Structure 1
Amino acid sequence: MVVPVKFVVACAAADDIFVIATIPDELPVDAEFTRIYYLCPDTESVWHYRDWPNEQVVSVCLRRARDGVKRAACALTGEGDIEIANSSGQTYEKIIGAGLSGERALGAVTRIQEIGSTLFVCGSFGQVYRRDETGWTPIDSDLVKRGESALSSSFSDSASISDSMLRQLTQSLQKAPNFNDIGGLTETDVYVCGNGGNLFHFDGLTWTKIETGTSSILTSLHCVSSDEILVAGKDGVVLSGNVRSGFRNLGEFFPGSYIWSVRKFKEKIYLGTLQGLYVLEGSRIRLLTSEKLDGKAQIISLGNVSDNYLWISTDRHAFRYDGESFTFYQHGDNTAY
């Protein structure tokens, strides 16, 4: 029996390797299970997979090879469990304090990324963790204080909660630093973005809040260079800039909807949305189409490790783009889509 799978998150591991975390459609509501696929076009079977039972992956990233360290795919759960896997096997780590059930009880973590040669994780309520020689360390005290301040300002000693208090609480929660993405080029040049238009920079010691001019939820960022950081999110907002010169708004291209992934590839900016894949051309956007890729495709991830190929994942399909044409990779369980 063929059971379709939903693609949840993905990342490029090489020009010829795309890592995709999936959930079977018929998984019981109260169950947690992740099947991680490795799409390798140059191998005979193309699709390889490994299961991670009892866990739900929310983010995957590449750990690059360096002296004494092999390339690996890293998978993160909302509770801060991490799998680091490659051809040598799998190792597992835990971010102590992360997640709803952690000792900090600040909520789920959301994204893992390698920045420089260090793994970072961000999450709700201002959480940011860095992996050092002794393990995972929180580096977010200033950010968490902002979240605590946003919440405390919303409550009073009154036994009853009025409609106005509920509205104020909702507004405060929307402004709290709940982070959706983290990225950077070095450990002393890190950006993190999230709800309420929140965008922060870390120089290795301190966090600086960056004015964005928007209160939209920011969902994705791509650090092209130290001077060009792309940030995107709700209403199709796209920001470009850096902490030194500030950010400018390139436009809001999808009112009421979201950009889930932003990527610069071959000097063009690509936008992964709930209504397909777009390329930004000046002040306008253009829809790109191919087999199984149209204005109804829900793009969950764009990624690349070079300027040779851009990997694209929808919630059901995977593609590789060379700047001119798309190659579609049919997943055997999703032929009905």
Structure 2
Amino acid sequence: MKIFSKATFKSHVEGYTVYDCAFNTVDRFCFLLVEEKDSRDTLPRTRFLVVGLDGPTAPRLGYFDTGDMRFSTIARGYAPEEYVAVDTASQVYSSDSRRRGMEASIEDLISLKTPADTMVTIRRVVRAAGKLYAVGSNRRLYRREGMDQWVDLHGEGWGAPWQSDARSRAMGFNDLSAFSDTDFYAAGGEGDLWRFDGTHWHPCPLPTQAQLETVCCAGDGKVYVSDLHGNVWAGREAHWEQVASSELAWGSQPVDAHWFQGRMYFGAQEGVYVISADKELVPLGEVDEHAPSSMVTGRIDISPDGRHMLTAGPYGACLYDGERWTRLFSAFDFR
């Protein structure tokens, strides 16, 4: 089904770049759009576009705009069911079946100060073990419990250890993934990888001091970790090996990592990468001749049933079921 006519594309998407995406069902998703601006005098507007392709009046389109958020990410929660976006300053957008809009920032609800009196920066919001977490610098994690409700894991006594003599840049986190609620992995900082067993945090001896970007608890039982340049390590607990090398330029590094249909996928702002037979991180098009352009792929989310992958690039989005790619929309169709 076509999502947009020429008129609805112009009113809902034109003038914006697709920055992130979140998956509800194969017929329902949300796109995070950022206004294209030449001037730096004011922040670009952020638009949250909710799409529904099911029901008698499909497609259903609705959006919410704000000029206050910057460098946001979005995820879909299921307990409660909602889309939630958080930016680097901890501002929060959420939407469910009844409402959409801004709510209290995390900083308004919980102190984001570290023991060194510095401020935590929120890196992203992720879903792990069925819950949403805001992932922050200085090894901070904040669990969402509902509208205007966040819990600091340190406040519960479950936070990762603080290292008073470390530089802030040396410590994570940038990403979080989980096999279960008693088997978490969090990564970031200079090779700063930790595992939570439900009671205690354990440092993982990853053989690198590179800046870590993503972590994924994969369907093959391994944990995959990528760095700023796209190098990838795999393993678990104390055992790790490098499984892919790369020299991606800054700005092209992985920002998403997901296991889907027996393969690891790494999403960047422009394009999807996979591990080749030669143990290199390569653009998806090098191993899948049917893969769409990097203009309509990049950020990744997986459907709750694990049967579809949603990916969005600057100018559009696609669905993939493991065999067939379906282009949901492309800005180039309306030019």
**TM-score past 0.5 threshold:** yes
Contact 2:258 2:300 survives alignment (8 Å): no
1:92 Cα deviation after fit: 2.4
Matches within 5 A, 1:25-174: 25-26=36-37, 29=40, 30-31=42-43, 33-42=45-54, 44-45=58-59, 47-56=61-70, 58-65=72-79, 69=80, 71-90=81-100, 92-96=103-107, 97=110, 105-131=118-144, 135-139=150-154, 143=160, 145-146=162-163, 148-151=164-167, 174=169
Contact 1:143 1:177 survives alignment (8 Å): no
Paired residues, what number? 307
The 1:246/1:107 distance shift into structure 2, 3 A limit, reads same
Residues 128-172 of structure 1 deviation map (CA, whole Å, 9 limit, x = unaligned): 2234597422428875732x4123xxxxxxxxxxxxxxxxxxxxx
Tell me what 1:157 maps to: none
CA distance in 1, matches of 2:52, 2:330: 12
1:314 Cα deviation after fit: 1.1
The 1:328/1:241 distance shift into structure 2, 3 A limit, reads same
CA distance in 2, matches of 1:115, 1:263: 12
1:312 Cα deviation after fit: 0.8
CA distance in 2, matches of 1:293, 1:226: 26
SS at match of 1:38: strand
1:250 Cα deviation after fit: 0.8
Residues 225-279 of structure 1 deviation map (CA, whole Å, 9 limit, x = unaligned): 5932222232221222222x53322111345452232221111222324663233
* Runs of 5+ unmatched residues, structure 2: 1-9
Matches within 5 A, 1:279-290: 279-284=274-279, 285=282, 287-288=284-285
The 1:46/1:296 distance shift into structure 2, 3 A limit, reads same
CA distance in 2, matches of 1:197, 1:212: 6
CA distance in 1, matches of 2:86, 2:314: 18
Contact 1:36 1:50 survives alignment (8 Å): yes
CA distance in 1, matches of 2:119, 2:213: 19
CA distance in 2, matches of 1:261, 1:78: 17
CA distance in 1, matches of 2:182, 2:31: 29
The 1:25/1:274 distance shift into structure 2, 3 A limit, reads closer
CA distance in 2, matches of 1:332, 1:286: 21
CA distance in 1, matches of 2:69, 2:295: 29
Contact 1:299 1:313 survives alignment (8 Å): yes
Is 1:265 equivalent to 2:280 in the alignment? Answer: no
Q: TM-score, normalised by structure 2?
A: 0.77
State which drifts further: 312-321 or 40-49. 40-49
Q: Could you say what the CA RMSD is over the residues aligned between the two structures, in angstroms?
A: 3.5
Is 1:14 equivalent to 2:11 in the alignment? Answer: no
* Runs of 5+ unmatched residues, structure 1: 152-172
Tell me what 2:4 maps to: none
The 1:269/1:63 distance shift into structure 2, 3 A limit, reads same
State which drifts further: 91-100 or 319-328. 91-100
Contact 1:62 1:74 survives alignment (8 Å): yes
Tell me what 2:186 maps to: 192
SS at match of 1:18: strand
| % identity of equivalent residues | 18
CA distance in 1, matches of 2:301, 2:316: 12
1:105 Cα deviation after fit: 3.9
The 1:9/1:274 distance shift into structure 2, 3 A limit, reads closer
CA distance in 1, matches of 2:145, 2:331: 40
Tell me what 1:232 maps to: 226
Contact 2:172 2:193 survives alignment (8 Å): no
Where in structure 1 do 4 or more consecutive aligned residues deviate above 6 Å?
289-292
Contact 1:230 1:239 survives alignment (8 Å): yes
Contact 2:140 2:153 survives alignment (8 Å): yes
CA distance in 2, matches of 1:274, 1:138: 30
CA distance in 1, matches of 2:70, 2:111: 15
1:36 Cα deviation after fit: 0.6
1:329 maps to a residue whose letter is L
1:277 maps to a residue whose letter is V
1:211 to 188, 205, 226: 205
